[in-house]
């Protein structure tokens, strides 16, 4: 088999003078493609800075970390979850996932890359060996049993995996019920960019063009219930102190929750989303039609239906305290994460009303459950409140760091509901 040489690229050029990825893919036998992948890892010692991705150098960190942050947010992995790093290369992302307490399977079509990944862990991070396993993707077969992982991440690895459409049924097979896969790749059209063209000329490895409609159709054919595309800002939106204070005031006003951002902020924000659209593509595939969790609850003004209901079942007041039993119902649309689990954890927010009418909005949080609360489920909680300085109360649910529910009810000092409403 002749080794790939950059001067051979002319045989794969289109009429525009650029390498045609389809022509390169069609002309490359699978064994040859795997040999080229292997050659990228041969001779690289485990002391090479590339093993410390994405912190190998400042430019790489700036480029990769924003995309990785989005991918990890969408992955929604929790400690103990089984995660497949598909197209892992030498395993830098698999190691980061294992360090988070996840049970990781790192799989790649290159046996050489897998060997390097194992060697690095053995030498530098032996404590991860128990929860970081490796395997080789052979003939499009993921070397794992059915329903054996909770999450899959493929981070800029489609060029390593070959035919994504052919691999999607395998991804669906190994995902457990309720699982999801996150794929981060280049935006449509990026195969024509100078950087990608240069890589293909140097390596002879085709970087397939991203086809959103084709991916959606293939995902549906493979049995995935949902295929969604995520947008995010590539860089922070910058503004002066005066503009920042104005935007902070806007988002703090509960009397006008739908107030629009300033034109300048809208312009900058849209420009950053446009930058993502031009460069990046992030795909989320869901194994079943399971409801999204409370991290994905939209702002109140964007909701089409109530998502919660609060009812006071009983209230007993003494001179010093108020004892309440409250029923809370999940009206559907979202699974509520337990309070205390970070962003999206759902708590009951208790607000104390003082004699001058002031409402202490962050007076107390009350945890609802140690487990997820599913759509249609009702929970009861019992708790006490001090009556000192209290003239009344208001209560609403909050997905921490995400949104208030708008299911607020008002109580008098003794716990009698004044204006119950569902939101």
347-388 per-position pLDDT tens digit: 999 999 998 988 898 899 999 998 889 888 899 999 999 999
Sequence length of the chain is 423
- Taking the C-alpha atoms of residue 55 and residue 377, their distance in angstroms, rounded to an integer, is 44
What H or E segment, with its residue span, contains residue 363? strand 359-367
pLDDT tens digits, 287-341: 876 678 899 899 888 888 889 999 999 999 998 999 999 999 998 888 899 998 8
pLDDT tens digits, 391-419: 999 999 999 999 999 999 999 988 888 86
Domain stop point among 260, 286, 312:
286
The residue ranking higher by pLDDT, 12 or 133, is 133
CB atoms within 10 A of CB 381: 15
- Judge whether 295 lies within some domain: no
- Judge whether 117 lies within some domain: yes
CA angle 339, 345, 348 (to 5 degrees): 60
Domain stop point among 258, 286, 314:
286
Residue 305 confidence (pLDDT) = 83
Longest dimension (CA), the chain: 89
Q: Are residues 214 and 357 in the same domain?
A: no
State the total domains in the chain. 2
Per-chain mean pLDDT for the chain: 89
- Judge whether 171 lies within some domain: yes
Q: Read off the DSSP letter of residue 3.
A: P
Q: Are residues 323 and 185 in the same domain?
A: no
Residue 422 confidence (pLDDT) = 44
Residue 417 confidence (pLDDT) = 84
Residue 199 confidence (pLDDT) = 86
Percent pLDDT > 70 in the chain is 95
Residue 119: φ, ψ to 5° = -65, -40
Q: Are residues 206 and 310 in the same domain?
A: no
CB atoms within 10 A of CB 174: 23
What H or E segment, with its residue span, contains residue 297? none
Which tokens is 218 given?
Answer: 């293939």
- Judge whether 116 lies within some domain: yes
Residue 257 confidence (pLDDT) = 60
Question: Which of 383, 376, 279, 363 lies closest to 334 in space, CA to CA?
Answer: 376
- Judge whether 140 lies within some domain: yes
Q: What is the mean pLDDT of residues 131-142?
A: 94
- Judge whether 167 lies within some domain: yes
Residue 292 confidence (pLDDT) = 82
pLDDT tens digits, 176-199: 988 899 999 989 988 888 988 888
Q: Are residues 192 and 57 in the same domain?
A: yes
| 13, pLDDT greater than 90 | no
Q: How confident is the model at residue 26 (pLDDT cuts 50, 70, 90)?
A: confident
Q: What is the mean pLDDT of residues 214-218?
A: 93
| 3, pLDDT greater than 80 | no
Domain that holds residue 51: 6-233+279-286
CATH code for the domain in which residue 400 is found: 2.60.40.10
């Amino acid at each position: 088999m002749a080794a790939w040489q950059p001067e051979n690229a002319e045989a794969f050029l289109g009429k525009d003078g650029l390498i045609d990825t389809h022509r390169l893919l069609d002309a490359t036998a699978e064994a040859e493609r795997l040999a080229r992948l292997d050659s990228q890892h041969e001779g690289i010692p485990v002391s090479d800075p590339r093993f410390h991705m994405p912190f190998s150098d400042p430019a790489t960190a700036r480029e990769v970390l924003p995309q990785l942050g989005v991918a990890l947010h969408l992955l929604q992995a929790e400690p103990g979850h089984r995660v497949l790093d598909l197209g892992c290369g030498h395993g830098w992302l698999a190691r980061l996932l294992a360090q988070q307490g996840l049970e990781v399977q790192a799989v790649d079509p290159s046996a050489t890359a897998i060997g390097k990944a194992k060697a690095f862990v053995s030498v530098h991070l032996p404590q991860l060996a128990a929860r970081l396993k490796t395997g080789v993707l052979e003939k499009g077969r993921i070397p794992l049993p059915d329903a054996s992982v909770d999450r899959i991440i493929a981070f800029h690895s489609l060029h390593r995996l070959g035919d994504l459409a052919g691999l999607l049924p395998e991804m669906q097979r190994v995902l457990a019920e309720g699982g999801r896969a996150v794929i981060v790749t280049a935006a449509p059209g990026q195969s024509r960019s100078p950087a990608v063209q240069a890589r293909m000329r140097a390596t002879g490895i085709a970087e397939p063009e991203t086809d959103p409609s084709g991916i959606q159709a293939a995902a549906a054919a493979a049995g995935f219930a949902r295929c969604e595309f995520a947008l995010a800002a590539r860089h922070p939106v910058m503004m002066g102190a005066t503009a920042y204070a104005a935007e902070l005031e806007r988002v703090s006003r509960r009397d006008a929750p739908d107030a629009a951002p300033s034109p300048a902020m809208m312009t900058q924000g849209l420009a950053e989303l446009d930058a993502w659209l031009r460069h990046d593509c992030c795909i989320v595939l869901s194994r079943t039609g399971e409801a999204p969790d409370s991290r994905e609850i939209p702002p109140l003004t964007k909701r089409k239906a109530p998502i919660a209901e609060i009812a006071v079942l009983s209230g007993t007041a003494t001179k010093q305290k108020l004892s309440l039993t409250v029923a809370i119902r999940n009206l559907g649309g979202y699974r509520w994460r337990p309070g205390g689990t970070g962003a999206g954890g759902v708590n009951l927010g208790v607000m104390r009303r003082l004699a001058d009418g002031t409402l202490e909005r962050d007076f107390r949080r009350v945890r609802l459950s140690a487990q997820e609360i599913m759509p249609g489920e009702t929970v009861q909680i019992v708790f006490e409140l001090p009556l000192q300085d209290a003239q009344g109360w208001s209560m609403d649910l909050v997905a921490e760091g995400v949104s208030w529910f708008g299911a607020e009810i008002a109580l008098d000092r003794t716990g009698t509901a004044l204006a119950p409403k569902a939101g």
